Amino acid sequence: MAKSVERRPGNCYPLALFVLLVGLLGLLLALDNLQRVLPISAWPNALSSPRQGSIPELLFSWAALPRLAVAFLCGAALSLSGLLFQQTLRNPLAEPTTLGTSAGAQVALLAALVWAPGLLGIGQGPIAITGAAVATAAVFGICAGAGRSPITVILAGLVVNLTLGTISAIIILLYPERGEDLAQWQAGRLEQTSWTPALGLSLCLFIGWAIAAFLCRSLRLLEMDDAVITSLGMKPAWLRGISLAVATVVAGSVIATVGTIGFVGLAVPALARALGARDLRSLLVWSPLLGGLLLVLADQIVQLPAMMNGQLPTGTFASLLGAPVLLALISRTKAGAVRPQPARTVPHRMRISATHLLGIFAAVVLLIVIGLALGRGPSGWEWSTDMDLIIRWRAPRAAASISAGVLLGISGVMVQRVTANPMASPEVMGISAGATLGAIALLFLSTSFTSGNLLAACAVGSLLVTSVIIIVGRRANFAPDSIVLIGIALSTVVGAIGAFVIAMGGPARSLLLTWFSGSTYRVTQDMATLVAALAILGLLVVPLFNRPLELLGLGEDGARALGLRVGRARGAIILYSAIATAGATIIVGPASFVGLLAPHMVRQLGICRALPQIVASAIAGGALMLIADWIGRTLIFPWQMPAGLLTALIGGPLFLYSMRQRR
Amino acid sequence: MRGLPAGAAFSAQPRLAAIDWAAAETLIAIGITPAAIADLGGFRASFSHLPEMNGTVDLGSTWEPNLELLDRLKPDAIYLPAWSSLSLAQLSDIAPVRLCDIHGTGGDPTERALRFAESLLVDFPSPSGEAAIRQLDERLAQLAGKAKPQPVFLLNLRSSNRFVNVYAGGSLPGSALMHVGLQNAWQGPVNGFGFASIGTEKLLQASDVSIVILNQNDRTAEMLARLNDSKFWSAIPAVRAGKIHVSPPVSVFGGLVSATTFAEWLAVTFDKAA
């Protein structure tokens, strides 16, 4: 994060020592694993005539050695890609998985697999790289006007990721038999059966690295203002374009070869910087080396016989290792490196009159009536008046959807106001991820459980995450950017664990897929009552937060001057939002976007004061979820689309569009 | 709870809903076509040997069968996989739920498939149904130990030839394999359905093993065509020795009929005399 133009010559000895250590450890483990494949005495023979060998010789030279090479190449390529993204965007958090690059490549591969399997004959590389490029371009297109502030780019990347994840989930929903193949890509397994992938990857990496090294001097200029770069006779846009293209192609080729491996691109350059690599030139040398050796080490650990018999995908393991690095990185990141945008004044303010209220009330009632009565039956569309049918099947789902939407709408406004960031949302805080973690833990503990158990597990999971947020956040006085970053870290880790469980297949898979997609299918009358009670309680308590929220809107100093205990107020608001989010997540899953969308819609209307904003956002959230649930029940009848998927599918692009409008 | 109490006999042509495909297959074997099946399209593709089922209603996906539709069809009983009992409470409100425990609950699926078929006969006694099950049972009994004992890999091909799915004891093909007297060459860990996704290189480690590819229709044909170019694949001992067999289309989530047909094919392919 060297911001100044004048730089000290970095001391690289600790870094060199660390690289040596990692390399030695990886080498030792590799030797141990390799000699288990083929005794060392037979190595020269296997290496000199790899073709017509015995089985162990073949395994050695066509499976174990290529895997070693691919591990190094992937680690190096991802580190290079991450480094270039970070340098170009002046953003320490940029890397293929946070920018949507990986998700784009994956969706492209999955779509090709389902709709155009012939294309895969050309090779996975071009498909993955195209997908990666489109997704990355989308993120930058969206952020182009928003001043490319680091947090904006990361949030746009996160939303693109979630949207693409939703598209994958829908493809799997419609083509369940393809789910297994996608799961394999998501988990990032490194098994090899030939040298071809390694050769392709090394070619990509070498060309990418050569271009980066050639442009090194110019790329360093990107740390300065665009005006300065232009005055030096360079074209910053071109420079950025080339650098991003290299980063995208290199990352895309990794995904085409082995799938998603998260965190390497983020953690390795950060580690290299922390260990003394100060300027771009030494980073370009050390990061790929360190990344390659680290992934080799991780891959060799995964292959140890003690590690679940090689069942654990390397990508999952790398994510688990990388998360602490990210958390450490967050605690070191000084305030200002990732600064939320200041809240902007809205051009017009809306005053709410009695007519408005009456109109809103009528619209809500109308929506509920249509949602309950209009549907499809065995013989097509119909207007149903069968009260028994409505009460038994439609009312609980509608009530639960509305309540979940209300809860997310409320906590969305709260989170956005307390983080002073209009792009934040409960999904981003990691509370939903906590609920998911609870559900996964339950899957491992028991094979037969009821939806009541599931509810309890999710509540425990989200409360645990909330306490982590509060403990870590207290140290930072609940600084908004730390809270968002902790959430991103948690979501990524939970995503990796979920992908692994899905990849294992078995009975747990379909449950997790349903869970991630956010379906109101299993809502019972009891659950609906519970969530509705939570939503009503939430609405009743909300006025208590009016004053702290209004005061926090004046900025930290202003609020303190007016007698607000800022840390405590923020803590209470976060706790409240966490409980509300947990309740909603149990109904609609972790990625509904409603907590992001509803407050945004309300702001567009020009409702600015805290309390009216919260109430309006609650109504908007409830209505959104109700509509999504209704579409989900009727669109592909008798099949059903999870409401959470639908809101994400509509909400993601809508959110990105409005982000683009925000100049 | 509406409908008939558990254990009581049903009328001659009961209206049954099958969310479990193995249950649907067994019901059809005893002469009862289910009124509704979850993921009917998938079921038809996976059990391509079955005759047309024009009167049967699609219930939607297997993990989220449409409850509202199911309720309106007023079935006499619902057959649910035992491993997905999460929606048990909701389904019990519609009709008596019978759990089908052939897959995903541990134990030997072929044996469980026979038990399940017998339990169906208790609920729906009919001479023709009994004759059908008795015949399947006899065919299975004759097949026991019929094949020449040898280790076999049961594989399902994937879109990437770096990985294969290997089936072991807890799966229907795996249990049919043991029933005819063959040994499963895969001794590693598997998931709850009795299969595991493994790196193709693991197939190299065992020599003197035969390979059976579980035919999943179009997908398998597509994968097989792609495998021909793989040098690694042709280095696998079984492939080199020509000990690789592609089965007729087989439903890995099937019931007694699937188990019997597959066991018969295995017995013929690995005949003692050969």
The pLDDT score that the predictor gives to residue A418 is: 82
Asked if B86 and A117 come within 8 Å (Cβ–Cβ), the reply is: no
Which residues sit opposite B184 in a β-bridge?
A: B152
Same structural domain, B128 and B192 = no
The answer to which of A329-343, A550-564, A649-663, B221-235 has the lowest mean pLDDT is A329-343
| Closest chain B residue to the Cα of A525, Cα to Cα | B90
Inter-chain contact A113–B86, Cβ cutoff 8 Å? no
Give the per-residue pLDDT at A75: 95
User: Are B106 and B162 in the same domain?
Assistant: no
**Range of lowest pLDDT (A176-190, A568-582, B83-97, B158-172):** A176-190
User: Taking CB atoms and an 8 Å cut-off, how many pairs form between chains A and B?
Assistant: 148
Q: Set out the domains of chain A in order of their start, with CATH numbers.
A: 18-332 (1.10.3470.10), 361-430+514-661 (1.10.3470.10)
- Please indicate whether, in this complex, the C-beta atoms of A189 and B163 are within 8 angstroms of each other: yes
* Cα gap A498→A516, rounded to integer Å: 9
Q: How confident is the model at residue B193 (pLDDT cuts 50, 70, 90)?
A: confident
**What does each C-alpha distance from A450 to A446, A523, A583 come to in angstroms?**
10, 12, 17
Three-state DSSP class for A552? Answer: helix
Average pLDDT over residues A48-59: 74
Q: Which of A111-125, A358-372, A407-421, B252-266 has the lowest mean pLDDT?
A: A111-125
Both B85 and B173 in a single domain?
no
Report whether B176 contacts B110 (CB < 8 A). Answer: yes
B6 within some domain: no
**Residues A23-40 pLDDT 10s:** 999 999 999 989 988 888
Residues in chain A, overall count: 663
pLDDT digits (tens, 9 = 90+) for A532-551: 999 999 999 999 998 888 88
B204 and B108 belong to one structural domain: no
* Residue A498 in tokens: 């979920």
* pLDDT reported for residue A451: 65
Decide which of B150 and A504 is more confident. Answer: B150
* Residues in chain A within 8 Å Cβ distance of B235: 58, 62
Q: Which residue has the higher pLDDT, B132 or A276?
A: B132
- Whether residues A639 and B66 touch (CB distance < 8 A) is answered with yes
Q: How confident is the model at residue A336 (pLDDT cuts 50, 70, 90)?
A: very low
Encode pLDDT of A567-581 as tens digits: 888 888 888 888 888
Question: Which pLDDT does position A226 carry in this prediction?
Answer: 74
B189 contacts B130 by C-beta, under 8 angstroms: no
Residues 121-180 of B with CB under 8 A from A: 158-163, 165
Q: Do residues B138 and B183 share a domain?
A: no
Same domain, B127 and B162: no
Same domain, B172 and B248: yes
In this structure, the number of other CB atoms found within 10 A of the CB of residue A522 comes to: 21
Quote the tokens at residue A576.
């409240």
pLDDT mean over B95-106: 90
Q: What is the pLDDT of residues A249-291, one digit of tens each?
A: 999 999 888 888 878 888 899 889 888 888 899 999 999 999 9
- Indicate whether B3 belongs to any domain: no
Chain B residue nearest residue A112, CA to CA: B159
Which whole number is the average pLDDT over A643-651? Answer: 83
Which one of B142, B170, B202 terminates a domain?
Answer: B142
Instruction: Give the CA distances from residue A344 to residues A151, A417, A553, A589, in Å, rounded to whole numbers and listed in that order.
Output: 16, 12, 11, 31
- Greatest mean pLDDT among A223-232, A345-354, B5-14, B197-206 lies in B197-206
Q: Which residue has the higher pLDDT, B255 or A332?
A: B255
pLDDT at site A430: 77
pLDDT of B120 above 80: yes
d(CA A165, CA A186): 10
* Shortest Cα–Cα distance, A505 to chain B (Å): 7
Range scoring the smallest mean pLDDT among A84-98, A194-208, A307-321: A307-321
Q: How far is CA A351 from CA A346, A355, A613, A615, B44, in A?
A: 13, 11, 11, 14, 59
Per the CB < 8 A criterion, the answer to whether A578 and A431 are in contact is yes
| Residue B157 placed within a domain | yes
For position B174, which CATH number holds?
A: 3.40.50.1980
Q: Which helix (H) or strand (E) holds B9?
A: none
Residue of chain B whose alpha carbon sits nearest to that of A259: B160
- A291 or A421, which is more confident? A291
CB atoms within 10 A of CB A43: 17
User: What pLDDT was estimated at residue A351?
Assistant: 67
| pTM for this prediction | 0.83
Across the range A290-309, mean pLDDT stands at 88
In this structure, is residue B190 part of a structural domain? yes
Best to test chain A binding among B40, B57, B63 (most A CBs inside 10 Å): B63
From the list A194, A309, A639, which residue is nearest B60 (CB)? A639
Nearest CA in chain A to B226: A121
Task: Judge whether residue A498 has pLDDT over 50.
Answer: yes
Co-location of B114 and B171 in the same domain? no
The runs of H, that is alpha helices, within chain B are 21-29, 40-46, 67-73, 88-92, 109-123, 127-143, 172-179, 218-227, 231-235, 237-240, 256-269
DSSP per-residue codes, A451-475? HHHHHHHHHHHHHHHHHHHHHHHHH
Higher pLDDT, A435 or A210: A210
What the block records as the tokens of A165 is: 């994840």
- Find the residue in B nearest to A523 (Cα): B90
pLDDT grade for A340, boundaries at 50, 70 and 90? very low
Mean pLDDT computed over every residue of chain A:
82
Distance CA A311, CA A543 (A): 51
Kindly indicate the confidence band of residue A89, based on its pLDDT and cuts at 50, 70 and 90.
confident
| One domain, residues B156 and B198 | yes
Tell me what pLDDT residue A191 has: 86
Give chain B's length.
274
pLDDT > 80? residue A215: yes
* Residue A76 and residue A285 in contact, taking contact as beta carbons nearer than 8 Å: no
* B100 occurs within a structural domain: yes
Say how far apart CA A314 and CA A303 lie, in whole Å. Answer: 9
Gap between the Cα atoms of A186 and A181, Å rounded: 9
Distance, in Å, from the CA atom of A655 to the CA atom of A425, rounded to the nearest integer, reads 12
What pLDDT score was predicted for residue A481? 65
> How far away is chain A from the Cα of B210, in angstroms, using its nearest Cα?
15
H helices, E strands: number in chain A: 29, 2
Name the DSSP letter for residue B19: S
- Domain's final residue, options B108, B142, B176: B142
* Tokens standing for residue A511: 């449950």
Please list, in sequence order, all residues whose beta carbon lies within 8 angstroms of the beta carbon of residue B41, skipping any fewer than 6 positions away.
Answer: B58
Average pLDDT rounded to a whole number, residues A187-212: 90
Residue A402 has pLDDT above 80, yes or no: yes
Q: Which structural domain range is residue B192 located in?
A: 151-269
Same domain, residue pair B103 and B220: no
β-strands B183-184, B151-157 pairing: parallel
Residue A591 pLDDT level (bands cut at 50, 70, 90)? low
Q: Which comes out higher in pLDDT, residue A297 or A604?
A: A297
Other CB atoms within 10 A of residue A557 CB: 9
B274 belongs to a structural domain? no
CB contact under 8 A, B68 and A393: yes
- B 47-76 → A contacts, CB under 8 A: 57-64, 66-69, 71-73
CB-CB neighbors (< 8 A) of B39 in chain A = 176
DSSP state of B147: B
Q: What is the pLDDT of residue A349?
A: 60
**Of B87, B122, B142, which residue constitutes the final position of a domain?**
B142
Cα gap B216→B202, rounded to integer Å: 22
> Are residues B160 and B111 part of one domain?
no
Least-confidence region, from A321-330, B2-11, B58-67: B2-11
- Whether B45 and B84 map to the same domain: the answer is yes
Give B181 to chain A, closest Cα distance, Å.
26
C-alpha atoms less than 13 angstroms from C-alpha of A343 in its C-beta half-sphere: 21
Instruction: Please indicate if any CB of chain A lies within 8 Å of the CB of B196.
Output: yes
Q: CB B193 to CB A180 under 8 A?
A: no
Q: What residue spans of A215-279 are helical by DSSP H?
A: 216-221, 226-231, 236-258, 264-274
Query: Largest alpha-carbon pair distance within chain A?
Result: 88
CB-CB neighbors (< 8 A) of A633 in chain B: 68
Whether chain A has a CB inside 8 Å of the CB on B224: the answer is no
Residue B109 makes CB contacts below 8 A (sequence gap 6+) with B102, B103, B170, B171, B172, B174, B175, B194, B259
Q: Is the pLDDT of residue A1 over 60?
A: no
Does B8 fall in a domain?
A: no
Is B134 part of any domain? yes
Closest chain A residue to the Cα of B46, Cα to Cα: A177
Amino acid identity at A530: L
Per the structure, the count of domains in chain B is 2
Residue A342 banded pLDDT, cuts 50, 70, 90: very low
B48 falls in which pLDDT band (50, 70, 90)? confident
